[in-house]
Amino acid sequence: MGRARRLPLWIPALAAAMAALPFMAGSFTISLVNEIGMAALVVMGLVLLSGIGGVTSFGHAAFVGIAAYTTAWVNTELGLSPWIGLVLALAMTAGSALVIGALTLRLGGHYLPLSTIAWGLSVPLLFGNMTMLGRHSGISDIDPIALGGFDLMRPEFVFYLVWVLVAVTALFCHNLLNARMGRLIRAVRGGKILLASVGADIFRVRLALFVFSALTAAVAGWLYAHANRFVSPAPFSLHASIDYMFMMVVGGLGQLAGALAGATIVIAMKSALQDVLPLVTQHAAQIQSVVFASLFILLLHHARGGFMALAERFMQAGPAHGKAIEFPVEPLARRAMPERGTLLLSVENAVKRFKGLVAVNDVSFDVKAGEILAVIGPNGAGKSTMFNLLTGALDLSSGHVEFMGRDVTAMGQRQIALMGMARTFQHVKLRPQMNVLENVALGAHARGNCGYLRGGLNLDGDEERQIMAEAALQISRIGLAGQEHELAGNIPLGTQRLIEIGRALAADPVLMILDEPAAGLRKPEKQALAELLLKLRESGVTIMIVEHDMDFIMKLADRLVVMNFGHKLFEGRPEAARADQHVRAAYLGNAA
Amino acid sequence: MSLDIALILSVDGLAAAAIYLLAGLGLVLVFSVTRVIFVPFGDIAVFSALTLAFLEAGRTPPTIALVAILAGLTTAKECWQLIRQRNLSRLPRILLAWGALPLIPCIPAVLAAGRDLPPAVAVAISLGLVLPIVPLLARLVYQPIADASVLVLLIASLVLHFLLSGLGLLFFGPEGFRTQPLLRGGINLAPGLFVSLQVVLMIATALLLALLFFLAFEKTLTGKALRATAINRTGARLVGIRPSMTATLTFGATSLLAGVVGILIAPATTMYYDSGLIIGLKAFVAAIIGGLGSYPLTALGAVAVGLVESFASFWNGAMKDVIVFSLLIPALLVRSHYSSHSDDGAEEEV
């Protein structure tokens, strides 16, 4: 079997039905279906951006508008062909999205969606007030798209263009989601720390996603301008943006097919209401918007999963992401490990203050290549804070950290991760909606090169196979072979910690930083984990570990650093720690 | 630009700031207590303005029917819930609270409609009619998803705005209205600087209400309960504060604030059924400058928005809204920079 899974049966059936449609339906229906296709283009981008990437946009109609106005203007004012208009419209929209995104995508929480309202409202206001764009009367007499010397004037001809573009976009998005960058896109929701820990920058992912979704909107805008041959501000208003969001929610937030379903349901319903309402009332137009808004609210109340959630309940098949693993493949290139016993990491007078609280106070220690160093201490001793300082997740208040001979004190998490420091988290950070294989494959992200374009065009086959084989290898190392395709969210918490170790291993780390890896594991599992860690040490990986299980630690660690109240109490061999008075006092109280 | 013009523009700006101050306070109040970003604030203000306009014109305000329908829907929904829970003993209370209570302000409105009313009475009737609208809407729209993420609540808010402007068109029609100023005449503050009493009234009312607001929050037990809910919902619940109760109270206060905003703005601007969004969103710019949490900063934000709008309209009337909204971007950037978001909570699910 190839890397793409077998096509679900409904896709070729739908394609055949669509191809035959212009021969069976009237012009009005075809126009309506064209409208659905253009909306689906916008909603697909929105599904990727908001439904999957978690960046809610209340302004996407503005991008449709920017593209439509661009192509309309260059066509009517400069007399350029619609195909040049397409290029310019894409460029203009991408540029606008880049500027808007660069300004707003770092905003946290609800501030980001609020900012989208601001530009979603302002852009159509600009259209309506610019003399060169015809103010509120818009631009008319736009040329139809010409293809091979003949004009696509009639909706039947535009139909094929619209739907070929829809199909191409859908295929591209589908491929992308299953590729290396797609895994990042699906991992964006949930925060930047995990992404930084595998060497990816969440801001860049979001920005790329934002621009991509603006581009699908731009294609729709270009089609709209040349199919209707007229543009005005109204179809790009905030109201229209909310309509696109409605379509997305109706279809089912996180899924591409939902974009098509949502656009179809909403536009068909709108058209049906336009037919029916005038029969019952003379206020049809007003009632229509009231009915729509009410339906949207009911949907939010009762069926936030949308149409695809319903459909899945019948088909019982969840979205199976990820491609089949094939052996044998050329393994991914490995890093050269530093020579055993050389200085790998040195911490000098590290201090971390949280306002008044000093969580880490003047701690210094060294880590040698190839050893297992355990950091222990009672709750609140500052162990996890220490790990966050080393990995760059927190900034030091003062002091220095050197890793592999480079000063990493001021470096971000991402750069440190790229240097070969991989970590697990005390509070497990997996992506529950992704399967075990993909979660582990995230770890290998920085070992691949294929970007959005190669992913979307399905040209990343070799590298994807390598990454998947690597992930599968690490999964079998942590003893979870056979569970590759389970959703990470369905795995028990203790085992989730193992998956984090697998993810860290997939990064081919020089130094692994494990925060309480054995918590929640049963005895035989701990045994297996200890064996795995010893094997890793043999292969040259250096390990730092925070753990509360003393049996586990004493058998495993070469050296210990004991912390209490932010101070370093002790550094040395495990046996010596056992005998140390200060360590005993910290653990058992002074009376002991 | 001469100093005279600058002064006149400043006065205009402060009058607008008074409006945004009241609206901004309402938005911050609702957000901090319920986490709802209440986009439809302006629509409620429009309802109150149009109600007053209808009363002035001697027509029966359609608001009566609107309130009756909302009360009917809410009561039906609440009763349906009780029936499903087989908890019929609470039925009389529900009927009274959601069915009868909101209709009380409708009685004077029905009686007074068509008569020649003194302005104060018309204003009182309008405020009374608008008062139950937000609590009813909140019960219908927000209460079933009270525990959803801020984002879901925000989507609901935006949709509610479109619902309300649709209802506005249906009930009040497409024409715009401008009401009689409550006070006529004015004072000469300086040569060439004439300030109408209506503007003085706007600013004074805003300041007075803001002060009352502050006192109610700081000094009364109910105010403290609201603040407690704002700071920590679970904690407030643990000490016996009912979130649904504080929510209803908050929405009631918001209704009143929106009502006052509508009454104050109606003589200054022609109000249409869809004028609300822009008013609400400009107040939002003020509220976001205040981080959706600080009342004093929101007040400053309101002044900034009012002044920017007034000066912007002098330079380029058509673009003034765009200019005011672009204020949002620096405000958001500064806000986002200073507010610490936890990594896990930052991106929420719909």
Query: Are A493 and A378 part of one and the same domain?
Result: yes
Contact A109 B150 (CB under 8 A): yes
* Helix, strand, coil percentages, rounded to 5, for chain B: 75, 5, 20
Residue A173 touches chain B, beta carbons under 8 Å: no
pLDDT at site A2: 36
Q: Which of A106, A118, A190 sits opposite B336 (nearest CB)?
A: A106
What are the tokens at B132?
A: 């139950």
Q: In terms of CA atoms, which chain B residue is nearest residue A118? A: B325
Task: Please report residues of A whose CB lies closer than 8 A to that of B291.
Answer: none
For chain A, the domain total comes to: 2
| ipTM here | 0.89
Yes or no: say if A115 and A104 are a contact pair by the CB < 8 Å rule: yes
CA–CA separation, A275 and A393 (whole Å): 58
Inside any domain, residue A350 = yes
* CA distances for A311 relative to A36, A165, A318, B245, angstroms: 20, 25, 10, 39
Inside any domain, residue A312 = no
- Closest CA of chain B from A307, distance in Å: 15
CA–CA separation, A417 and A510 (whole Å): 10
**Cα angle at A88 between A82 and A91, to 5 degrees?**
145
DSSP A311-340: HHHHH------S----SS-PPPPPPPPPPT
Q: In terms of CA atoms, which chain A residue is nearest residue B141? A: A297
Contact A129 B152 (CB under 8 A): no
What is the distance, to the nearest Å, from the Cα of residue A412 to the centroid of all Cα atoms in its chain? 20
Orientation of helix A111-129 relative to helix A82-104, angle to 10°: 140
Q: Which of B322, B341, B350 sits opposite A253 (nearest CB)?
A: B350
Q: Which of A119, A242, A249 sits opposite B162 (nearest CB)?
A: A242
Contact A114 B321 (CB under 8 A): no
Residue B155 touches chain A, beta carbons under 8 Å: yes
Yes or no: say if A181 and A455 are a contact pair by the CB < 8 Å rule: yes
Taking residue A80's Cβ as centre, other Cβ atoms within 10 Å add up to: 16
Yes or no: say if A571 and A394 are a contact pair by the CB < 8 Å rule: no
Inside any domain, residue A401 = yes
Give the list of residues 6+ apart from residue A362 with CB closer than 8 angstroms, or none. A349, A350, A351, A399, A567, A568
Q: pLDDT per residue over B277-316, tens digit each?
A: 989 989 988 998 888 888 888 999 999 999 999 999 888 8
Task: Please report residues of B whose CB lies closer than 8 A to that of A125.
Answer: 319, 321-322
Task: Please report residues of A whose CB lies closer than 8 A to that of B170.
Answer: 283, 286-287, 290
DSSP H helices in A53-201: 60-77, 82-104, 111-129, 155-177, 180-188, 192-197
Inside any domain, residue A479 = yes
CA–CA separation, B309 and A342 (whole Å): 65
- Closest CA of chain B from A233, distance in Å: 14
What is the distance, to the nearest Å, from the Cα of residue A561 to the centroid of all Cα atoms in its chain? 37
Interface mutation vs chain B, best among A130, A205, A277, A290, most B CBs within 10 Å: A290
Interface mutation vs chain B, best among A114, A250, A255, A428, most B CBs within 10 Å: A114
Yes or no: say if A45 and A215 are a contact pair by the CB < 8 Å rule: yes
CA–CA separation, A90 and A122 (whole Å): 20
Instruction: Count A/B contacts: CB-CB distance under 8 Å.
Output: 134
Q: In terms of CA atoms, which chain A residue is nearest residue B334? A: A107
The candidate with the shortest Cα–Cα distance to A424, out of A521, A329, A355, A351, is A521
Helix (H, G, I), strand (E, B) or coil at A545: strand
A299-314 in b/e form (b: 16+ CB < 10 A) is bbbeebbbbbbebeee
Contact A115 B328 (CB under 8 A): yes
Interface subset of B 226-285, CB within 8 angstroms of A: 277, 281, 284-285
Sorted by where each begins, the domain ranges of chain B are 30-187+197-276
Contact A289 B152 (CB under 8 A): no
Interface subset of B 168-207, CB within 8 angstroms of A: 169-170
Question: Which of A189, A204, A237 represents a domain boundary (last residue)?
Answer: A237
Q: Find the radius of gyration of the CA atoms of chain A.
A: 28
At A57, which amino acid appears? S
pLDDT at site A1: 32
Helix (H, G, I), strand (E, B) or coil at B95: helix
Q: In terms of CA atoms, which chain B residue is nearest residue A54? A: B347
- Closest CA of chain B from A115, distance in Å: 7
DSSP B163-219: HHHHHHHHHH-S--B-PPPSS--EEEEETTEEEEHHHHHHHHHHHHHHHHHHHHHHH
* Bridge-based pairing state of the strands A398-403 and A230-231: unpaired
What are the tokens at A348?
A: 């000098």
What are the tokens at A10?
A: 């409904």
Taking residue A2's Cβ as centre, other Cβ atoms within 10 Å add up to: 10
Q: In terms of CA atoms, which chain B residue is nearest residue A428? A: B344
Taking residue B143's Cβ as centre, other Cβ atoms within 10 Å add up to: 20
Contact B325 A122 (CB under 8 A): yes
Contact A106 B344 (CB under 8 A): no
Measured between its terminal Cα atoms, the distance across chain B in Å is 49
Q: Which of A115, A286, A297 sits opposite B166 (nearest CB)?
A: A286
Contact A50 B321 (CB under 8 A): no
Query: Which residues of chain B register pLDDT less than 50?
Result: 341-350
Contact A283 B326 (CB under 8 A): no
Residue B314 touches chain A, beta carbons under 8 Å: no
pLDDT at site B347: 37
- Closest CA of chain B from A129, distance in Å: 6
Contact A109 B345 (CB under 8 A): yes
User: What are residue A532's phi and psi, to 5 degrees?
Assistant: -60, -45
Q: pLDDT per residue over B150-176, tens digit each?
A: 878 888 999 999 999 999 999 999 899
Inside any domain, residue A184 = yes
Residue B65 touches chain A, beta carbons under 8 Å: no
Question: Which of A210, A237, A264 represents a domain boundary (last residue)?
Answer: A237
What one-character DSSP code corresponds to residue A559? E
Q: Which of A110, A121, A304 sits opposite B37 (nearest CB)?
A: A110
Taking residue B267's Cβ as centre, other Cβ atoms within 10 Å add up to: 20
pLDDT at site B2: 81
pLDDT at site B350: 34
- Closest CA of chain B from A286, distance in Å: 6
Inside any domain, residue A8 = no
Q: In terms of CA atoms, which chain B residue is nearest residue A243? A: B159
Interface mutation vs chain A, best among B35, B80, B332, most A CBs within 10 Å: B332
CA–CA separation, B82 and A286 (whole Å): 33
Helix (H, G, I), strand (E, B) or coil at B272: coil
Residue A106 touches chain B, beta carbons under 8 Å: yes
Residue A108 touches chain B, beta carbons under 8 Å: yes
Query: Are A233 and A369 part of one and the same domain?
Result: no
What one-character DSSP code corresponds to residue A488? G
| Residue located via tokens 């609206």 | B23
Residue A229: which domain range? Answer: 27-237
Residue A297 touches chain B, beta carbons under 8 Å: yes
CA–CA separation, A286 and B227 (whole Å): 39
At A292, which amino acid appears? F
Query: Which residues of chain A register pLDDT less than 50?
Result: 1-4, 318-319, 321-322, 592
The candidate with the shortest Cα–Cα distance to A385, out of A398, A377, A394, A374, is A394
Contact A115 B332 (CB under 8 A): yes
* CA distances for B25 relative to A335, A347, B19, B252, B323, angstroms: 58, 50, 10, 13, 22
The candidate with the shortest Cα–Cα distance to B44, out of B134, B110, B104, B121, is B134
Residue B321 touches chain A, beta carbons under 8 Å: yes
**Cα angle at B342 between B337 and B343, to 5 degrees?**
100
Q: pLDDT per residue over B101-121, tens digit each?
A: 999 999 998 888 888 889 899
CA–CA separation, A335 and A564 (whole Å): 35
The alpha carbon torsion through A390, A392, A394, A400 (nearest 10 deg) reads 60
* CA distances for A39 relative to A243, A381, A440, angstroms: 10, 55, 36
pLDDT at site B227: 82
Q: Which of B318, B328, B336 sits opposite A108 (nearest CB)?
A: B336
